[in-house]
Amino acid sequence: MGCSFSGLNALYGAVNGGGDVWINDNRFRIVRQLGEGGFAYVFLVKEVVNASSPASGGGAIAGGLSKKVKDKSHLSGDGTYAMKKVLIQNNEQLELVREEIHVSSLFNHPNLLPLLDHAIIAVKAAQEGSWNHEAYLLFPVHLDGTLLDNSTAMKAKKEFFSTTDVLHIFQQLCAGLKHMHNLDPSYAHNDVKPGNVLLTHKQGQSPLAILMDFGSARPAKRQIRSRSEALQLQEWASEHCSAPFRAPELWDCPSHADIDERTDIWSLGCTLYAVM
């Protein structure tokens, strides 16, 4: 079972508040839109559960999602989640979304955003006889915004993160990337930047930092053995790696090079510099 309504209905419901989406066997009500970019939209949703359902361990609402998610710490206490909706118009985009889902399912770390559930459905396109797809990806919600959001708001008020907070955020990002880099095979995020770091503020504590958006993540180690391969990598990087945080070897790749996890380390350093 996929989602219950088409893209136009989903957008209409989101803009006007309300509207329900089924992701596999679980029902969610759209509360409001949180953001958008390209062909993707992010909504705040709330799981629709039977009022008589008991709470699960940890006090989270015991909807159908609680039976699916292995790590109960990822369940929301009030049933709210973030739902990413992707409008897919061709097979290339479909494969990219499938790869993002696959990569996201590989990680289990407190500083990497977990994918809780997903569904891809076929929807009839405007052109008669053709079909497009929509993907729905469900994540824990973090309403305090990204590191970029927080940094921009603070700078507007001439405020800055304390040195302690900067170091704690940096340490958490290092831990998340270490988890990715230690997998077999190792994975590189390829787009580490303040806009891909979610923050959660807790009173009296340094912010919790969570790396998100694994749409550009790929196996970290790549062997480049020709000019053609080098140019292909540069073209790929121009589409998937944000320019201000892109490692030099992805800008001008040699014809004989071994690309690895160090591309993330460069981006991590740029991220640290950007928030200091």
Q: Indicate if 79 and 132 belong to the same structural domain.
A: yes
Q: What is the mean pLDDT of the chain?
A: 88
Determine, yes or no, domain membership for 72. yes
pLDDT at 77 over 90: no
Of 246, 238, 241, the residue nearest 269 (C-alpha): 246
pLDDT confidence tier of residue 2, bands split at 50, 70 and 90: very low
Q: Indicate if 77 and 99 belong to the same structural domain.
A: yes
CATH number for the domain spanning 106: value is: 3.30.200.20
Q: Indicate if 176 and 258 belong to the same structural domain.
A: yes
Q: Indicate if 179 and 236 belong to the same structural domain.
A: yes
pLDDT at 212 over 60: yes
Determine, yes or no, domain membership for 213. yes
Of 261, 263, 262, 257, the residue nearest 232 (C-alpha): 257
pLDDT digit string (tens) for 100-124? Answer: 999 999 999 999 999 999 999 998 7
What pTM does this model have?
A: 0.86
The catalytic residues are 191
Q: Indicate if 261 and 151 belong to the same structural domain.
A: yes
Q: Indicate if 155 and 109 belong to the same structural domain.
A: no
Determine, yes or no, domain membership for 2. no
Tell me how far apart the alpha carbons of residues 106 and 234 are, in angstroms, rounded to a whole number. 26
Count of domains observed in the chain: 2
Q: Indicate if 114 and 171 belong to the same structural domain.
A: no
Parent domain of 236: 147-275
pLDDT confidence tier of residue 129, bands split at 50, 70 and 90: low
Residue ending a domain, among 99, 122, 139, is 139
Residue ending a domain, among 122, 139, 156, is 139
CATH number for the domain spanning 261: value is: 1.10.510.10
**How many CA atoms lie within 13 Å of 113's alpha carbon, on the beta-carbon side?**
27
Determine, yes or no, domain membership for 76. yes
Residue ending a domain, among 76, 111, 139, is 139
Q: Indicate if 124 and 170 belong to the same structural domain.
A: no
Determine, yes or no, domain membership for 255. yes
Determine, yes or no, domain membership for 1. no
Determine, yes or no, domain membership for 204. yes
Q: Indicate if 132 and 151 belong to the same structural domain.
A: no
Determine, yes or no, domain membership for 224. yes
- Spell out the residues 6+ positions from residue 51 whose beta carbon is closer than 8 angstroms to its own: none
Q: Indicate if 130 and 160 belong to the same structural domain.
A: no
Q: Indicate if 78 and 188 belong to the same structural domain.
A: no
Q: What is the DSSP letter of 112?
A: B
Of 192, 190, 208, 189, the residue nearest 150 (C-alpha): 208
Residue range 13-32: mean pLDDT, rounded? 79
Of 104, 89, 88, the residue nearest 183 (C-alpha): 104
Q: Indicate if 131 and 153 belong to the same structural domain.
A: no
